[in-house]
């Protein structure tokens, strides 16, 4: 979790308290957390055995919506896992912004 908190503080300019709150979703699932940490280390979504949720990898989500940063992509992966219908609706509608 330390690396993820550090990312939010140093790269996203949040406070430590906010960074811990933002990290909670990403660390919820070990596979998503571990892949995000790998992304932090490599800055690349090309993994030998990527996490696949509802048929999508983080790399595919990035290709569909390149405006999402890595934290947004991995948060979305959690959404896909927990609320697949909602996640698929976002993909279908091109990630609309409210």
Give the model's pLDDT for residue 39.
97
CA distance 74 to 87: 12
Task: Yes or no: say if 51 and 59 are a contact pair by the CB < 8 Å rule.
Answer: no
Give the model's pLDDT for residue 33.
98
pTM reported for the whole predicted model: 0.93
pLDDT tens-place string over residues 34-71? 999 999 999 999 999 999 999 999 999 999 999 999 99
Least trusted range by pLDDT, from 63-72, 79-88, 89-98: 89-98
Q: Mean pLDDT for the chain?
A: 95
- Domain parsing of the chain, residue ranges: 2-92
Work out the percent of the chain whose per-residue pLDDT is above 70: 99
Task: Yes or no: say if 32 and 38 are a contact pair by the CB < 8 Å rule.
Answer: no
């Amino acid at each position: 979790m330390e690396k993820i908190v550090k990312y939010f503080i140093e790269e996203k300019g949040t406070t430590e308290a906010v960074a811990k709150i933002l990290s909670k979703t990403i660390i919820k699932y070990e596979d998503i957390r571990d892949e995000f940490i790998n992304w932090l280390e490599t800055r690349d979504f090309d993994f030998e055995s990527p996490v696949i949720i509802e048929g999508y990898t983080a790399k595919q989500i990035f290709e569909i919506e390149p405006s999402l940063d890595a934290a947004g992509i991995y948060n979305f992966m959690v959404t896909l896992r927990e609320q697949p219908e909602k996640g698929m609706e976002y993909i279908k509608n091109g990630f609309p912004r409210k």
